[in-house]
């Protein structure tokens, strides 16, 4: 750097930022106008409205793919409810929990403890019998006559981790409450999640159901246009940029989160190379960056054997253009295990792991029949070489190779 870092920072300050309010591009920002969700907003509002008259609303189950505005619309509605209740001094308590947060919803104990804490009870992180935490929670909520609304966002993740018994308990709790009444709003990104529930839980959880369909490219374009006005300087985006972000996100099941993220990252990249405007090329770059972050993130969270398997595929794949087969991946995997003092799993297990990575989209693995030699998988890394190199570096570090 010829001019020195000091000058670089000064120039940086001189340059006007593309963003005026970057927080407005954060996933948890609640905009004042929500487009293309009138029907859903209206349904959520009318289902929950009775709580203002101190009547227990039906339990509500909201579902649709990621980025279809579920969290946003429910948050918006409950915020409005809360503010009316406050103004009129009505006995309403609304609790929102995102079940994807490990600390909150990893175990039944943690969840109930968190709920009790929302009512101001101090519960130790471990140590009490779960039944006791339940009873503290129960006593606390029944202290006053009021309606309690518990929003369990990403409820599918919760049930995946701790089963549905807790939901059963929560939906039955009203029978024993003398003063308070409790309703549940469950939100799920997994559309067929209720199929896996105990039928009794299913029927009480979804007394009412609302489906969120995906947005199309036009919807997304309007959502983005609105967001750009809130968060960026005038003329910060070149022509066609918004349409392209919308089109990319529409291709992936109409995900508004993805569309907004793409725009934000494009803006960051544009700023980084000193441009005063986001150009189409920045979107391509942003797509790569986001993809890379996702793969790296995914790779980091895996157990050692998964990492060793993926490393083997990427390592062999770097040396070869054509498909890899399960057998050779397994041989290489065994070698990697030896290097890091890991006892290898069976080939069968490793083949299952390969299948799981295929489902996650990190690799492409097609099962093919080899006649009387049985079946194998034809495997290709599904990401670009640049990504593979990055992922390999992360994996070697994680494995201590």
- What are the residues binding Mg ion (CB under 5 A)? 71
* Sheet with 324-325: strands ordered across: 324-325, 375-381, 363-369
DSSP string covering 135-173: HHHHHHHTTSS-EEEEEEETHHHHHHHH-SHHHHHHHHG
Nearer of residues 66 and 174 to ligand ADP, judged by Cβ: 66
The one segment of 44-52, 70-78, 338-346, 380-388 that binds ligand ADP by CB under 6 A: 70-78
Q: Provide the minimum distance between the beta carbon of 325 and Mg ion in the complex, in angstroms, as a whole number.
A: 40
Distance in angstroms (rounded) separating the CA atoms of residues 55 and 176: 16
Rounded CA gap, 45 and 49, in Å? 6
Nearer to Mg ion, 252 or 273 (CB): 252
Angle at 181 between CA 175 and CA 186, to 5 degrees: 95
Closest to ligand ADP by CB, 36 or 121: 36
Least distance from C-beta 227 to ligand ADP, angstroms?
Answer: 7
The stretch near ligand ADP (CB under 6 A) out of 32-40, 120-128, 229-237, 246-254 is 32-40
Picking from 342, 351, 347, the residue whose alpha carbon sits closest to that of residue 303 is 342
> Within positions 174 to 213, which residues make up the interface with ligand ADP, using CB under 6 A?
189
Q: Which does 68 bind (CB under 5 to 8 A by kind): ligand ADP, Mg ion, none?
A: ligand ADP
Number of residues interacting with ligand ADP: please give it, by CB under 6 A.
20
Figure out which of the listed residues 40, 43, 59, 71 binds ligand ADP, where binding follows CB under 6 A. 71
Least spacing, CB of residue 36 vs Mg ion, in Å: 16
Nearest Cα residue to 175 out of 203, 202, 142: 142
Separation between Cα atoms, residue 199 and residue 206, nearest integer Å: 10
**Which one, 255 or 271, has the nearer CB to ligand ADP?**
255
- Minimal CB distance residue for ligand ADP: 69
Shortest reach from residue 332's CB to Mg ion, in Å: 39
For 333, list phi and psi in degrees, rounded to 5: -55, -45
67 binds ligand ADP (CB under 6 A): yes
Q: What are phi and psi of 105, to 5 degrees?
A: -135, 35
- Nearest CB to Mg ion, comparing residues 71 and 77: 71
Token pair of 38 as six digits: 């009138």
**Nearest distance, CB of residue 122 and Mg ion, angstroms:** 29
Q: How far does CA 325 lie from the centroid of its chain? A: 33
Which residue in the block uniquely carries the two structure tokens 């036009």?
Answer: 218
Chain residues that interact with ligand ADP, rule: CB under 6 A: 27, 29, 31, 34-37, 64, 66-72, 189, 223, 256-257, 260
């Amino acid at each position: 750097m010829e001019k020195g870092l000091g000058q670089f920072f000064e120039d940086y300050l001189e340059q006007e930022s593309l963003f005026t309010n970057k927080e407005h591009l954060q996933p948890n920002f609640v905009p004042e106008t929500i487009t293309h969700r009138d029907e859903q907003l209206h349904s959520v509002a009318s289902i929950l409205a009775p709580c203002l008259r101190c009547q227990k609303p039906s339990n509500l189950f909201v579902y649709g793919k990621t980025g279809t505005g579920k969290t946003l619309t429910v948050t918006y509605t409950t915020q409005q409810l809360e503010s009316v209740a406050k103004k009129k001094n009505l006995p309403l308590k609304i609790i929102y929990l995102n079940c994807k947060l490990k600390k909150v919803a990893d175990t039944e104990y943690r969840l109930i403890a968190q709920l009790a804490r929302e009512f101001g009870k101090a519960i130790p992180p471990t140590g009490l019998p779960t039944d006791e935490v339940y009873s503290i929670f129960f006593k606390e909520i029944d202290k006053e006559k009021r309606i309690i609304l518990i929003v369990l966002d990403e409820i599918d993740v919760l049930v995946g981790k701790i089963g549905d018994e807790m939901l059963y308990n929560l939906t039955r709790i009203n029978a024993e409450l003398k003063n308070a009444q409790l309703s549940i709003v469950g939100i799920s990104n997994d559309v067929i999640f209720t199929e896996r529930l105990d039928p009794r839980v299913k029927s009480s959880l979804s007394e009412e159901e609302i489906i969120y369909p995906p947005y199309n490219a036009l919807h997304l374009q309007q959502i983005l246009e609105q967001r750009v006005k809130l968060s960026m300087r005038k003329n910060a985006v070149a022509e066609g940029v918004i349409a392209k972000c919308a089109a990319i996100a529409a291709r992936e099941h109409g995900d508004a989160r993805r569309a907004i993220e793409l725009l934000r990252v494009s803006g960051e990249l544009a700023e980084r190379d000193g441009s005063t405007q986001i150009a189409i090329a920045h979107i391509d770059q942003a797509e790569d960056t986001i993809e890379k972050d996702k793969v790296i993130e995914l790779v980091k969270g895996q157990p050692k054997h998964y990492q060793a398997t993926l490393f083997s595929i990427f390592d062999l794949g770097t040396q070869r253009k054509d498909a890899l087969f399960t057998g050779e991946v397994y041989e290489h995997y065994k070698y990697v295990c030896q290097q890091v003092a890991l006892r290898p799993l069976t080939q069968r297990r490793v083949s299952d792991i390969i299948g799981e990575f295929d489902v996650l989209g990190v690799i492409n693995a097609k099962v093919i029949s080899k006649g009387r030699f049985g079946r194998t998988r034809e495997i290709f890394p599904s990401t670009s070489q640049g990504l593979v190199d990055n992922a390999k570096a992360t994996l070697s570090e994680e494995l201590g190779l």
